[in-house]
Structure 1
Amino acid sequence: MAGRPEILFPLFAEIETLPGVGPRVARSLAGLGVERPRDLLFTLPHSGVDRRRRASIREITPPAVATVEVVVGQHMPASGRGRPYRVQVRDAQTEFLLVFFHARAEYLKNLLPTGQRRIVSGRVELFDGVAQMVHPEHVLRPEEAGDLPAFEPVYPLTAGVTQRVMQKAAAAALTRAPELPEWIDPALKAREGWPDWRAALDQAHAPESAAALAPTHPARQRLAYDELVAHQLTLALARAERRKQRGRPSKGDGRLRARVLAALPYAPTGAQTRAVAEITADMAAETRMNRLLQGDVGAGKTLVALLSLLAAVESGGQGVMMAPTEILARQHYHALAPLAEAAGVRLALLTGRDKGRERADLLAALEAGEIDILVGTHAVFQKGVEFADLRLAVIDEQHRFGVAQRMALGAKGQRPDILVMTATPIPRSLALAHYGDMDVSVLDEKPPGRTPVRTALVSAARMDEVVAHLAQALEEGRQAYWVCPLVEESEAVDLTAAEERFRHLRAALGEGRVGLVHGQMPPSEKDAAMAAFVAGETRVLVATTVIEVGVDVPEASIMVIERAEIFGLAQLHQLRGRVGRGAAASTCLLMYRPPLGETAARRLKVLRDTDDGFRIAEEDLAIRGAGDLIGTAQSGLPRFRVADLERQAALMALAQSDARRLLNDDPGLKTPRGEAARILLWLMEQDKAIRLLGVG
């Protein structure tokens, strides 16, 4: 494989080859993730200072930055320790003071000789009615005035790096940026009015006004798009690579699916029908399926998964459905059992708890093909778990399973099709960034018969009222969840919070009516507490966030969330989705500790006003930012230097369709635009993609 193109060598040299960057500054810059000149090109100024020349400081309203020409007057050295050194100056209309702390008199006399003209630029403030400029940022001779830009860019800094060092290093990195061939589709570039790559860098590093710093500015948009399209090209290459691996066409005849649909008390939604059609079409194709099924809380993903699994069984194969926890695996099993029975297929459950003889029998039946659909936890990855003919793997709750596990599961069968389900609605731009190599089906309708959940905000001061209301609801035969937050400091603290609430509610509502579930319990106790609640023996379940994913108790119609202000929006939406599953009108109470901060208030209000998970996710993205939304550290979400997923969401969709189209027209990236795209991949350090091309 050929290496990095020579035209990029200067950008990948050591950072210390730039003027003003010695070993110490280089170490500091590494803290900003800047290790090569290329990193500086993509470290754009985040703000700027207006340094336009004024006739007098009277033209501005202090405190503000002013740039004026002055005549230097008398020097007034510091009158004692800790006192400032002051210099009187006069501009065209008024006098003011330049103020310096800890400065050497000798240095200041050279810098500002009495009687001479100088250009000074800095922040002017009023102190006891006297205008002062403390430590001017620039002091220049009149003939040097041209060195000061009218609008000075301000870069992000880190300890040990000053603005001046950053500006100088960025300017030097820019001189190394070559003219590169164009990788953007010419029609798109013309339509958007984007500059060439080199010109875009110049404009982004030398903004002429605050407007040039906005993500909507053409230069910034172009650079963001370059980053996104390089990322999407990598995902598209991975997708193309996987599509080359032949799958095994699974064409079901629909007989088992028809039995299940006949047994349902309601018709599937249009979204469910559409998703099943997309999935079964993928399964029938020669290439391997890699599809994401995204559905909001309660949109009916389980039915879609079962119908897809039945298509695998109809075509003579087996299916597996994996859940992240034992509680969820059991729940899937119980939800699917009556429907599997209606279809006449053999369903089995495998968790880490199955031991000895029973486990051995189950594994033998699986290998002999006597089990059609296996439901389990990651135990289905273990050695000794062999399928007769695995055609489809359904994975629930994506982010707990990385790509590595997806591949391990793929190795289990004869390259099975893969369907990943997530109940976390992700805004489209993020879904593309995170799952851009997958095809996506979205369930955006709720099945009939689900009653909307009424959501209310209550202050924690009204705790006694809430408990009294709860006692009343229990008399009417209802059940409730009471969620206590996980306070990060220590697990011990969480337990006391949940255990104290448990004791308090037990005292108020009666001994046997309140159960408790938290993360530190042994699994068997957790299961027992859950089972007692499912059976209706306990009426209130006090829980830490253990219950957020998937637990299904139709009789539970009340959800109380304590300290709701410290939860994320997506998490609150998931928790609320645990109620409203039965026929009873349901309520979700968000209890908060006043005073509410602005962001927390906005979060809780969004939740109160809508139950559309996708809208909530878009809001969450706007409030929290992309990295936090799916936890950047473990999400594998790429770190973009220029692109801003919140404000440039539409660019991501554009980049995806563009990348897929380019590869469709030029799979080997051999045309002039394809060659330019390779340079882009090297520039953006997408080595993975370059390896997939298998060529330089």
Structure 2
Amino acid sequence: MTGRPEILFPLFAGLETLPGIGPKAADNLAHLQITRPRDLIFTLPHSGIDRRRRSTVKGAALPEVITVEVTIGQHREPRNRSGAYRVVVEDAETTFQLVFFHARGDYLLRQLPVGARRIVSGKVELFDGIAQMVHPDHMLPVEQADEIAAFEPVYPLTAGVTQRQMTRAAQAALTRAPELQEWIDPAQKKKAGWPDWQAALTAAHTPQTMGDLAPTAPARERLAYDEFMAHQITLALARSSLRRGGGRETHGTGTLQQQVLAAIPFHPTDAQMRALEEIARDMAAPQRMNRLLQGDVGSGKTLVALLALLIAIEAGGQGVLMVPTEILARQHVEGVAPLAKAAGVRLELLTGRDKGAERRAKLDALNRGEIDILVGTHAVFQHDVVFADLRLAVVDEQHRFGVRQRLELGRKGQAVDVLVMTATPIPRSLALAQYGDMDVSVLDEKPEGRKPIKTALVAAGRMDEVVEHLRRAILEGRQAYWVCPLVEESETLDLTAAEARFKRLRAALGEGNVGLVHGQMPPADKDAAMRSFQEGKTAVLVATTVIEVGVNVPNATIMVIERAEIFGLAQLHQLRGRVGRGTQQSTCLLMYQPPLSEGGERRLTTLRDTDDGFRIAEVDMDMRGAGDLIGTAQSGLPRFRIADMERQAALMATAQSDARKLLSDDPDLTSPRGRAARVLLWLMEQDQAIRLISVG
């Protein structure tokens, strides 16, 4: 199938092809991201109004929306222009008033002639003891009463679009929704009690009760599932295209791994050994590995990654470790070098700074197979970087590395196995949405000997005490980070804040004791400042958040975070994880500017009360929603119109297993259900998936 199936054409036409939508309405709807009938059918009402007929407003719990038949009585003109125009009406048991502002009396007399019967519907409120309906939503002759739905859906609106227009537009778009073949597994559909696609749309747009608006209502749940399903088929296609590229069996001998394990002073955790077994099993299989290693700060991912790289080398191949920044690349090399040496493994660093002859020499050695493990930034992606026999690519800090880059990396070697490490614990539903094409290993234990970090909240007014605390710690030979807040995205302000803090601390703690790192510094100065902190020459490092990922200074036992209340939870958790890496007791001081907002307080107390990254991620998601949690812009996270990743995590998991099963039974999507799934992909605009099918 090369283009969009014809059956979907009416849904992808212009909005103006719908009756009652002109250029102006179409422009207004575009603000709601509605540009085609398809977008309208997926814009569901978010609440509803009960407009069932009643006999009287008497006894109602006002204010309340009431629909009632009335006899029109006296019209009272306002005394002045800004006053209210009132119409007295009588229902079966009592009288009340209809109230209009800026009204034209002649128009209202025509609409509401004295003595006529009308159905009126709107919000009734008490004003000075008199029941009033201000600007009724509906005023109709009794014979037209059926035009008012007993339960009226309420849609999201934007400037220039009324509820009535929106309802009409949605109803018009619904007539364009064709009957489509079913893409959901029949057993799953039956078990959940879901309607067909077309019926589900109709039901979702014509709710009869508040219950029909709940995400768990069968029609809504089915439509949410369709979105998850389309997304998971895309990920499953990416996964199978990686696997179909054929893998190589990489069997380790265990000799190098044993040498490294003998060289470290502690036992790996059960979680580390379990993850390593999963990785070894994937590498030995004939398909390509595409695995995510997810571990909280300090759970020991680096050791697992190194042991995985050794499997590749034991099998006669090479490995690459790719990290986001140069500082991290250097640090990985420094951290891993002694262990690599113990196993006699040749390790080399390649960054954007390598130029000319030095770079060529490294590339030649790599090509001849004289380098076993290459560590570097995305410079390792460049075309002239050629390996003798690349077996395993480890990518650190997934965030900046989407599905597309994962496919890209796979092209570097003959069927390279890919292991991605992330230190960001994310809730299960998000992991499924973002990494659904991958298999996941989780490190959920802390290595032995790690002491929990003491976390305390300190009001900004106690700054002098904090500085005094630092002075004593420095005298005892300890080191500290001092993180300055990022000020309103303005780099010049960040700079001033960090520099002012740096000067003040230098004055209090002594010239040579304090270093500074911020985003505006030339990379060489940044590295130099980091290095002198790592080597213990400076005792306190003042920094903006550049230090959050991966920096390792075991002697640093104090983390001060200024204005902690303006940081996100995940970021605070990452920053705190920079201390507590040695054997000494570490402390994290969260300094805040009172009074704390409710959200600020919840973030800081959550951090104080737990160090479980997964628990922190759940609270974070609860507070911010999924899109913000990993920054939708760079995460490639899908934007769902109906589905809710936080609250429908279980549906996402079902969609993943369903999508994977569908593709294992029908890899080319040519069965009747497979063809239906192709239509779903076009309907949900999963372009990437469509490309994968046409290529596949």
User: What is the TM-score normalised by the length of structure 1?
Assistant: 0.96
- Which position in structure 2 is the counterpart of 1:106? 106
The residue number in structure 2 matching 1:464 is 464
Distance 1:59 1:145 in 2: 23
Aligned residue identity for 1:192: A
User: Partners of 2:695 and 2:107 in 1: how far apart?
Assistant: 59
Q: How far apart in 2 are the matches of 1:162 and 1:475?
A: 69
Instruction: Give, as a single letter, the amino acid of the residue that structure 1 aligns with 2:483.
Output: V
Q: CA RMSD in A?
A: 1.8
Q: How many residues align?
A: 696
Q: How many angstroms does 1:404 deviate by? A: 4.5
When residues 60 and 196 of structure 1 are mapped into structure 2, their CA distance, relative to the original with a 3 A threshold, is same
Give the AA of the match of 1:120.
V
Give the stretch that moved more between structures: 668-677 or 34-43: 668-677
Match of 1:186 in 2: 186
What residue in structure 1 maps to residue 594 of structure 2?
Answer: 594
Partner SS for 1:251: coil
The 5 Å alignment of 1:62-73 reads 62-73=62-73
Q: CA deviation at 1:70?
A: 1.8
* SS, match of residue 429 in structure 1: helix
Aligned counterparts of 2:686 and 2:406: Cα–Cα separation in 1:
22
Q: Tell whether the 8 Å contact from 1:2 to 1:695 is kept in structure 2 after alignment.
A: no
**Deviation at 1:468?**
2.4
Name the counterpart of 2:150: 150
**Relative to structure 1, is the Cα distance of residues 59 and 674 closer, same or farther in structure 2, using a 3 angstrom cutoff?**
farther
Q: Report the CA distance between 1:342 and its aligned residue.
A: 0.7
- What one-letter code is carried by the residue in structure 1 that aligns with 2:25? V
State the partner residue of 1:30. Answer: 30
Equivalent residue, structure 2, for 1:232: 232
Distance 1:175 1:396 in 2: 49
Contact 1:154 1:163 in 2 (8 A): yes
Kindly report which structure 2 residues correspond to 1:78-117, keeping only aligned pairs within 5 A, or say none. 78-117=78-117
Q: Distance in 1 between matches of 2:186 and 2:44?
A: 25
Aligned positions of 1:220-619 closer than 5 A: 220-619=220-619
> How far off is 1:614 after superposition?
1.3
Report the Cα offset of residue 2 of structure 1: 4.9
1:360 & 1:674 partners in 2: Cα distance?
50
Shift of 1:312: 0.9
Which AA in structure 2 matches 1:590? L
Superposition deviation, residue 407 in structure 1: 4.2
Letter matched to residue 576 of structure 2: R
1:438-493 CA distances to partner (integer Å, 9 max, x unpaired)?
22211111111111111222222222222222223323322211111112241111
1:384 deviates by 3.0
1:362 Cα offset (Å): 2.1
Alignment partners' CA distance in 2, 1:638 and 1:426? 16
How far apart, in 2, do the equivalents of 1:6 and 1:351 lie?
50
**Cα distance, 1:623 vs structure 2:** 1.1
1:537 CA drift (Å):
1.8
> What is the alpha-carbon distance in structure 2 between the residues aligned to residue 155 and residue 624 of structure 1?
23
Counterpart AA for 1:85: Y
Superposed, 1:118-133 pairs within 5 Å as: 118-133=118-133
Distance 1:535 1:243 in 2: 44
The equivalent residue for 1:219 is 219
C-alpha displacement at 1:583, in angstroms? 0.9
**Could you tell me whether the CA contact under 8 Å between 2:242 and 2:407 is conserved in 1?**
no
Residue 250 of structure 1, CA deviation: 1.8
In the alignment, structure 1 residue 658 sits paired with structure 2 residue 645: no
1:490-517 Cα offsets, whole Å, 9 max, x none, are 1111111111111222222222222111
Task: Work out the CA distance in 1 between the residues paired with 2:92 and 2:513.
Answer: 83
Question: Match for 2:307: what amino acid?
Answer: L
CA contact (8 A) 2:400 2:634 kept: no
Give 3-state SS (helix, strand or coil) of 1:98's partner. Answer: strand
State the partner residue of 1:170.
170
Residues 1:637 and 2:637 are matched in the alignment: yes
What SS does the aligned partner of 1:39 have? helix
The 2-side partners of 1:171 and 1:555 are apart by 66
> Could you say which residue in structure 2 is the equivalent of 1:7?
7
Identify which range, 245-254 or 301-310, moves more after superposition: 245-254
Equivalent position SS for 1:293:
strand
The aligned residue for residue 195 of structure 2 is 195
Alpha-carbon separation, structure 2, partners of 1:354 and 1:472: 42
1:556–1:579 Cα contact (<8 Å) kept: yes
Gap change, CA 1:352 and 1:8, over 3 Å in 2: closer
Aligned partner of 1:76 in structure 2 is 76
One-letter code aligned to 2:615: R
CA separation in 1, counterparts of 2:44 and 2:609? 38
Q: Is the 8 A contact 1:289 1:418 kept in 2?
A: yes
Decide whether the 8 Å contact of 2:2 with 2:694 is kept in 1.
no
Question: Distance in 1 between the 2:687 and 2:339 partners?
Answer: 47
Distance 1:537 1:563, change over 3 A: same
- What letter is aligned with 1:114? V
Structure 1 segments, 4+ long, off by >6 Å, are: none
Q: Is the 8 A contact 1:225 1:651 kept in 2?
A: yes
Deviations along 1:194-222, one digit per CA (max 9) or x if unpaired, are 22222221221112222221212222111
TM-superposed CA distance for 1:643, in Å, is: 0.4
Give 1:408 deviation, angstroms: 4.3
Structure 1 residues 110, 442: closer, same or farther in 2, change over 3 A? same
Q: Residues 459 and 42 of structure 1: is their aligned pair in 2 closer, same or farther, counting only changes over 3 Å?
A: same
Task: Verify the 8 A CA contact 1:84 1:102 in the aligned structure 2.
Answer: yes
Structure 1 CA distance for aligned equivalents of residues 339 and 479 of structure 2: 26
Counterpart contact for 1:96–1:131, Cα < 8 Å: yes
Q: Deviations over 1:207-261 (max 9, x none)?
A: 2222221212222111100110111112112211221112232222111111111
Q: TM-score, normalised by structure 2?
A: 0.96
Contact between 1:321 and 1:373, CA under 8 Å: does it hold in 2? yes
Change (3 A) 1:641 1:139: same
Shift of 1:38: 1.8
Contact 1:449 1:583 in 2 (8 A): yes
Q: Which runs of 5+ in 2 are unaligned?
A: none
Residue 185 (structure 1) shift: 1.7
Query: More displaced, 412-421 or 263-272?
Result: 412-421
| Counterpart residue type for residue 520 of structure 2 | Q
Over 3 Å counting, the alpha-carbon distance change for 1:355 and 1:669 in structure 2 is closer
CA distance in 1, matches of 2:338, 2:461: 46
The 2-side partners of 1:695 and 1:475 are apart by: 65
Question: Which deviates more, 299-308 or 100-109?
Answer: 100-109
User: Residue in 2 aligned with 1:18?
Assistant: 18
Identity %: 72
- AA in 2 matched with 1:281: R
Q: Which runs of 5+ in 1 are unaligned?
A: none
